[in-house]
Amino acid sequence: MTEQTLAELIPGDLPPGIAALDPQVQAELAQVIEDARWRQAGELRDAARGMLDVLPRLLRGVVKKAAGL
């Protein structure tokens, strides 16, 4: 994965106080954000699988169709 700068990562212009941070601090912040994004994606994926596991078999077909899967 190519590392993105904080300004590339964040949608829109960085607030002035953030844009003025030392480049090293910005790089560390970008990494913290990327880590959190990956962590959340994994958490959401696991929870969605967990939900499907308890979905009654009877409903699986109709649910998959509704979800476009």
* Structure token pair of residue 43: 């958490």
**Per rule CB under 8 A, is residue 7 in the interface with another protein?**
no
Contact between 27 and another protein per CB under 8 A = no
State yes or no: residue 48 binds another protein (CB under 8 A). Answer: yes
- Cα–Cα dist 26/6, whole Å: 6
Chain residues binding another protein by CB under 8 A are 9-12, 14-18, 21-22, 25, 28-29, 32-33, 36-37, 39-41, 43-44, 46-48, 50-51, 54-56, 59, 62-64, 66-69
